Chain A
Amino acid sequence: MPLDVLEVHRIASLARLRLSPDEELRFAAQLGRVVDYIDQLQSCSAVEPESAAPLAARDAADEVEERSDRGQLLGNAPLAAGSFFVVPRVLGGGDA
């Protein structure tokens, strides 16, 4: 069953994506089919795992470590000034 176009719009907005009306229609049909398929999970009898952390991750030592050069990292920024990333105004209304 296709997803509701309004639902697709809501998800896209949560995911910080803007879809064209054509994309919304196409994704509603395609994602609807996938969601119908993954709904089969509801028929599996597996119980909830006790822990949400499946991985045996190791803790790193709590030490300051110089891994990358700041200038090099800023060099990848589309727009930087001095040691800062430049972004447009965060709270609405102004110019970048």
Chain B
Amino acid sequence: MPDALGLGVEATARALASGQLTAVEAVSAALQRAAAVEPAVGAFLRLTPESALERAAAIDARRARGESVGALAGVPVGLKDNLAVAGEPLTCGSRILAGYRSPFSATAVERLLAAGAVSIGKTNLDEFAMGSSCENSSLATTRNPWDRGRVPGGSSGGSAAAVASGSVPLALGSDTGGSIRQPAALCGVVGLKPTYGRVSRWGLVAFASSLDQVGPITRSVRDAALALGVLAGSDERDATSATAAVPDYLEGIEDGAAGLRIGVLREIDLAGLETGVQSNWTAALERLAGLGAEIVPVSVPDVRFAIETYYVIANCEASANLARFDGVRYGRRAEGARELAELYLASRSEGFGAEVKRRIMLGTFALSSGYYEAYYARARAVMEELRKQLGAALERIDAIATPTTPTAAFRLGEKLEDPLAMYLSDVFTTPANLAGLPAVAIPSGVDALGLPLSLQLIGRPFEEGRILRIARAFERDLDWRAAPELRGAAPAA
């Protein structure tokens, strides 16, 4: 039996298909690994070993009978806990959804399971996916597998930590302003935010509907491509899901970066980057040039306003989307309210954490009479302009490269009481959401403290294949094999 833990998605699927590994063995190995590292990492809110092993056994039985079992049959996966699974709890990292069980499954989950993947549990997140450190979860603390005194990033911090600590080779995240890419960067793994509409949002609890997108977190670029092929496709239950054909994302992925034009934003302020990020970013550009890519400066002036625009648009949409949590139809209901208005007030005030309250209030403020034009209407105008500027730049180049984050993983608690400092973590990731573009974050080395750093590639709409191809060339050339040690927590692999 091959070492199931060291295998990625593609290798696990291959070993399973060839009979070298059974689904029960693969899933058992994942569960054992999770049991060993979870006390130190806390990536999962809930592990579901019984249902996972049962499902794995069923897949093995089907395969033994010669039935078709799907491209990911027996591959263990983790699911961010803002994605619905029928009959299971769905918490969004919030107290307000206590007791809730989803009556249906998210389309992305259905597609993954239809391909034979086996969920071993739900991963931690910032409450309602609002945050960049996972510290806004009301239910658990997730630690960075590389340094347990540091954050895993967010909001899909649990998914990134689960993949980085070796419990699963694939976890789903959601990305509204960087929530897949930023934690992937801080945990030294690959995170892909597909084009808006590429993956159905049905069953993803809405944060900011015009920006939210589901995507994979994996340890390799090829695994991200494989997962995207399974997740992507139109869905009549999501009116914004795209009908564009889904290509084979692995085809041409090894073609290298030679001859491709990669844009570098003139607006990036190198002085705003940590020293380690600065030198790593310079080295990453040299590496891309060494691979034969042409590095060209491009100007996207309004990218300077991405954070401001994002925090207006996202919070306005959040304030509307989170109005549904009122203590009446599901979730937590405050005791003792004598009137309906009092029930709303009490249930929401008890159920939401501080960051969710801040965001709802910012959105409410920006949409309120007297402020709407200055904030929401203004942000919409900038968003449109930014979309045009990025679109125009991408007509002349194949991708835009940026560092994924301005810093490596920061310490737990460091930015918790300074929301604005936390928001600035998203400076490089928000433009892709505002413009609906695909973007991938890939490891680019470590800083002086041994913390992972990351390169982001932003592509044209529905051309995930092109950024994955560049990312693969970069990954192959870097040949980065570093992994967190998790001293004392891991069994000998």
A residues at B contact (CB < 8 Å) = 8, 11-12, 14-19, 23, 27, 30-31, 33-35, 37-38, 40-42, 44, 46-49, 52, 54-60, 67-69, 72-73, 75-79, 85, 87-90, 92-96
> B378: nearest residue on chain A (CB-CB)?
A41
Measured between beta carbons, the chain A residues less than 8 angstroms from B418 are 30
A70 to B305, CA, bound (A): 45
B residues at A contact (CB < 8 Å) = 99-101, 103-104, 196-197, 210, 236, 239-240, 243, 302, 305, 307-309, 311-312, 319, 323, 326-333, 337-346, 348-349, 352, 354, 357-358, 360-366, 368, 374-375, 377-387, 417-420, 423
In the complex the two chains form, is B312's CB within 8 Å of A15's CB? no
* Nearest chain A CB to B390 CB, angstrom units: 13
New A-B contacts (20) at CB < 8 Å, excluding given A54-B383, A68-B104, A85-B328: A17-B345, A17-B349, A17-B357, A18-B349, A19-B349, A27-B361, A30-B358, A44-B305, A46-B302, A46-B378, A48-B377, A49-B380, A52-B380, A54-B380, A55-B240, A58-B240, A76-B329, A78-B328, A78-B332, A87-B340
A38 to B362, CA, bound (A): 10
A73 to B331, CA, bound (A): 12
* Nearest chain B CB to A25 CB, angstrom units: 13
Q: List 5 A-B contacts (CB under 8 A).
A: A41-B309, A44-B302, A78-B99, A78-B327, A78-B332
A88 to B333, CA, bound (A): 11
- Determine chain B's interface SS by DSSP, over half rule: helix
* Nearest chain B CB to A72 CB, angstrom units: 5
* Nearest chain A CB to B320 CB, angstrom units: 11
In the complex the two chains form, is B357's CB within 8 Å of A19's CB? yes
Among candidates A16, A44, A69, residue contacting B348 with C-beta atoms closer than 8 Å: A16
A31 to B311, CA, bound (A): 12
Among candidates A16, A41, A68, residue contacting B308 with C-beta atoms closer than 8 Å: A41
Which of A49, A60, A90 has the most B CB atoms < 10 Å from its CB?
A: A49
In the complex the two chains form, is A88's CB within 8 Å of B330's CB? no
Measured between beta carbons, the chain A residues less than 8 angstroms from B419 are 30, 33-34
Among candidates B210, B328, B344, B375, residue contacting A41 with C-beta atoms closer than 8 Å: B375
Q: Which 9 A-B pairs have the closest CB atoms?
A: A78-B333, A46-B385, A76-B330, A49-B384, A15-B364, A38-B308, A18-B349, A57-B239, A46-B381
